[in-house]
Amino acid sequence: MNNSDLLKKFISTRKKTLSLCKPLEIEDYVVQPNEEVSPIKWHLGHTSWFFEEIILLKFNKNKNRYNDTYNTIFNSYYKSIGNHWKQNLRGQLSRPTVQEVKKYRNYINKEIKKIITLNKNNKKINFLLELGINHEEQHQELILMDIKYILYKNLDNIRFTKNKIPKIKRKLEKWQNFEKGLYCIGAENNKFTYDNEKPKHKVYIHPFKINKQYVTNNEYKKFIYDKGYQKPQYWLSKGWDWININKINTPLYWDQINKNQIKEFTLHGLYSLDGDAPVCHISYYEASAYAKWTNSRLPTEEESEIFLNSINSRNKNLNMKKNIYHASDINLSVNNLWWWTKSHYSSYPNFKPFHEEIEEYNEKFMCGQFVLKGGSIATPSEHIRNTYRNFYEPHQRWMFSGIRLARDIQ
């Protein structure tokens, strides 16, 4: 991507982030209802700090920090850069205000434009700019995840979007078989990808089959009504502890009034549960337990990528373009929910992390997390690719995560 295209993409990405926040009231920007959710104003500040840190201060030695305290407030986890405010305490800070953060964003926009214009053929700056753009796109999905949880915690039925949730038609379940053999996994070097997607390598796979359809709400309700949450034989030991300590008995955002009436909170507001829609906001523990209950298993990361390669998934996200923020539009694309894999998040053979300050970008999280594949209705279309590796801890479920089943072929 040349300088001109990168600059256009930078400007459009920065505008897109702010456009996601348009339906919010000023109070919605500042609350932090739990330790996983960050205040929306923090996302706006952090994505600006990232550009200041990796480009402006690095390539303009005469430039001072916009505000020294911002390096503490908006640094997320980069220990090599300095101390940072703890994630679970971000909601304690009433300052900087939302308007001050937006002013900071405008400053960063102007300075980035200047430095890109003055350094037209600097490959290092271009790479860092493209990384920063992709980093902000990641936060666009996080913003939607956090907005949903923030609005959910209100007593009133808040609607983030006025778009109607489309009614879907349930498709018959189909399994796709794959033969044993050597398969190529991972990304090529001919376009931007994250360091954790590389290098491309071969893996040997035993014969397996994977379900083309996600598990639906109706299917998951059968697990609940069979007292699946009360039967320890289906659960991993830590998962069993998690559901009992936290009194978990339904997916996140379900309001189970009685057996025949279940409401689900969406970015469209509170709606009656659509039985044919895919079950969403599921933890790894829940996905694993459900898979065992059905005499199936979760697919591995490699199997999931092989499946994506086989259906020629394109780098498109139809739902995001239509501003639909609910998984019930699943029939439009295979990439409407992330699905859990049974693979631990770790590096590929001959993995090489990003260099210098951004070495901490991915590698430091390769412990205690599981890989999710596919993409979701909140994922920017540029991040819908077969090699993309999302990752979360097994108890987390505020992301747009679902279940796809796999089985061994004997």
Question: Who contacts 271 (Cβ-Cβ below 8 Å, separation ≥6)?
Answer: 165, 263, 264
CB-count burial class (<10 Å; 0-12, 13-18, 19+) for 26: exposed
pLDDT in tens, 358-371: 877 888 889 999 99
Domain identity same for 181 and 131? no
Dihedral sign for Cα atoms in the order 258, 259, 260, 263 = positive
Least confident among 189-193, 238-242, 348-352: 189-193
What is the percent of the chain with per-residue pLDDT over 70, rounded to a whole number? Answer: 91
Instruction: Name the residue range of residue 209's domain.
Output: 175-408
Q: What percent of the chain has pLDDT over 90?
A: 77
CA distance 170 to 133: 37
Of 84, 119, 152, which residue constitutes the final position of a domain? Answer: 152
Question: Which amino acid is residue 205, in one-letter code?
Answer: I
Instruction: Say if 169 falls within a structural domain.
Output: no
Does some domain include residue 250?
Answer: yes
Q: What is the reported pTM?
A: 0.94
Is 158 inside any structural domain?
Answer: no
- Does 323 map to a domain? yes
Contacts 24+ apart (CB under 8 A), 261-265: 262/221, 264/217, 265/148, 265/151, 265/152
Q: Of how many residues is the chain composed?
A: 410
Q: Look at residues 86, 120, 152 and tell me which one is the last residue of a structural domain.
A: 152
* CATH number of domain containing 34: 1.20.120
> Domain of 257: which CATH number?
3.90.1580.10
Q: Average the pLDDT over 363-386 and give the result.
A: 93
pLDDT tens column, 107-158: 999 999 999 999 888 999 999 999 999 999 999 999 999 999 999 999 999 9
pLDDT number for residue 324: 42
pLDDT higher than threshold 50 for residue 322: no
Do 190 and 47 share a structural domain?
A: no
What does the DSSP 8-state code read for residue 179?
-
pLDDT greater than 90 at residue 168: no
Q: Is the backbone of residue 281 left (phi > 0), alpha (psi -120 to 50) or beta?
A: left
In terms of domains, do 32 and 130 share one? yes
d(CA 209, CA 322): 32
Number of domains forming the structure of the chain? 2
- Closest by Cα among 216, 355, 196, 326 to 279: 216
Q: At 202, list the tokens.
A: 């071969």
**Same domain flag for 193 and 298:** yes
Are both 329 and 253 inside the same structural domain? yes
Angstrom distances, CA of residue 159 to CA of 41, 196, 311, 320, 405: 20, 36, 35, 17, 32
User: Is residue 354 situated within a structural domain?
Assistant: yes
225 with 315, same domain: the answer is yes
3-state secondary structure of 22: coil
**Residues 77 and 200 reside in one and the same domain:** no
User: Does residue 157 belong to any structural domain of this protein?
Assistant: no
Q: CA geometry: angle at 287 spanning 286 and 291, to 5°? A: 115
pLDDT for 70-98, tens place per residue?
Answer: 999 999 988 777 889 999 999 999 999 99
User: What span, in angstroms and rounded, lies between the C-alpha atoms of 317 and 307?
Assistant: 18
**Amino acid residing at 107:** Y
Say if 165 falls within a structural domain: no
pLDDT range class, residue 321, cuts 50, 70, 90:
very low
- Range 233-259 average pLDDT: 92
What distance in Å separates the CA atoms of residue 31 and residue 41, rounded to the nearest whole number?
Answer: 9
Identify whether the C-beta of residue 369 lies closer than 8 Å to the C-beta of residue 392: yes
Residues 131 and 217 both lie in one domain: no
Average pLDDT, the chain: 90
Query: Is residue 208 domain-shared with residue 271, that is, in the same domain?
Result: yes
